[in-house]
Amino acid sequence: MKTFEMIKNFEKFGNIIISDIFVFFVVAFWYTTWNIQDKYLFPNHHGLSNGISLAIGIIGISIIAISQFTIKKKLRNTNCVIFFLISRCIAFFWAVCGVCHWRGLWNFLDRYTVALSPKVLLVIGLVVLCFLRSVRNILAPPFVLGFDGCREQFFNQSMIFGQIVRNKIPFELDVFLCTSILGSLVVVFWRDAWQTMDNHLFPDDKKRTFIWSIIIFFSVQISAEILQFCFRRTSSHIEKFPYIMKLIIHDAYFIFLGVGNVSCWRFLWTIIEKITAMIGPGIGLGSVCFTSFVFLVSVFSSTSIVSKGFILDGSVEQWYRLPSEYIGSFRACLQDKEKKPGKKDFEPSLETITHL
């Protein structure tokens, strides 16, 4: 038994290391795609550039989500090579749309909320996400290594708003609301958590703020493993807590993980900025972007650069029973099959790749 536990712990540690390696390439893709748009998408007209990015992001992701069943059906019996090529093209478009959404909204917030403290927006975003039972979405954008399935690369999006209003919202409208509202609230959390760190984590010393971002990330990752161990050991006692107390612990835990995610991206963003500057601003962005995507595709993990839909927080009776590697390493690959009435070919799988 002890040998088995030791092997399991080594395997878990190895998975964490692999995930942390892959996240570098994911952040590299996001950084370069973001800055390519800054450089070439109407660089002298910031409002137009950000507006186009935001529109491409929301509309593009919505189109992919709505057409996912048709895409799966068309590719179900195709040749493996054709499936590989088409699916990777879709993954690339999907990832670019994700970056566009984040860039457009992030820059608009920078431009039009200067007088507003980032802490205010941070609290507002978190309150709304908690109210919608969707705080776990702050673990996006993609963070974690997610291997492409043979025919399951395309995500199924849960009807979050449909569930809130008793399934009276059509799937297509729900997809658009999830993308435009939930996705935007996640950006608000990330932008204002990032901005708060910029303002308070040694703003005049880039080296120290870089080091402290690393410290915060690894502290959160280690603490998450310890907390999961404690939660699982005391699950029988946790079940006896009042519902509101379990709900508060649940939301606080995922907010804690979200802060670790932001810290990770913050220090990796700085590293990739230095690398592209060393290569040269002209060729550096394109070459790093292409190399990152090719690397992820070559190891069948192109879905690591996309956020696989949105997830409705599960029951507070069960969340702490999840395998610790799913949460402690910021892996959130939850699958929950449930039929929705009125949708013949609708088999939602609540799946988030954070991952990133």
Under the banding of pLDDT at 50, 70 and 90, the label for residue 6 is low
Compute the Cα dihedral for 217, 219, 222, 226 and give only its sign. Answer: negative
- Tokens 């993990």 belong to 301
Give residue 318's pLDDT: 67
Residue type, 338: E
Answer yes or no: is pLDDT of 189 > 50.
Answer: yes
CA distance 167 to 165: 6
Highest mean pLDDT among 8-22, 108-122, 228-242, 298-312: 108-122
| Of the candidates 301, 289, 259, 310, the residue with the CA atom closest to the CA atom of residue 34 | 289
* Three-state SS at 314: coil
Element (H, E) at 268: helix 243-279
Model confidence pLDDT, tens digit, residues 102-124: 999 999 999 999 888 999 999 99
Give residue 313's pLDDT: 82
Model confidence pLDDT, tens digit, residues 61-85: 999 888 888 888 887 777 888 888 8
Calculate the alpha carbon distances from 279 to 30, 273, 282, 288 in Å: 17, 10, 8, 9
Model confidence pLDDT, tens digit, residues 335-355: 333 334 344 444 333 333 233
Model confidence pLDDT, tens digit, residues 192-224: 999 999 999 998 898 999 999 999 998 998 888
Whether the CB-CB separation of 143 and 327 falls below 8 Å is answered with no
Answer yes or no: is pLDDT of 308 > 80.
Answer: no
Q: Which region, left, alpha or beta, applies to residue 27 given φ > 0 means left and ψ of -120 to 50 means alpha?
A: alpha
Give residue 48's pLDDT: 95
Q: What angle do CA 262, 187, 97 make, to 5 degrees?
A: 110
Comparing 168 with 183, which gets the higher pLDDT? 183
Domain boundary assignment for the chain: 12-328
Question: Once rounded to an integer, what is the mean pLDDT over residues 312-318?
Answer: 75
φ and ψ at residue 79, rounded to 5 degrees: -60, 145
- Cβ within 8 Å of residue 190, ≥6 positions away: 102, 106, 138, 141, 258, 262, 265
Token readout for 164 is 């809130």
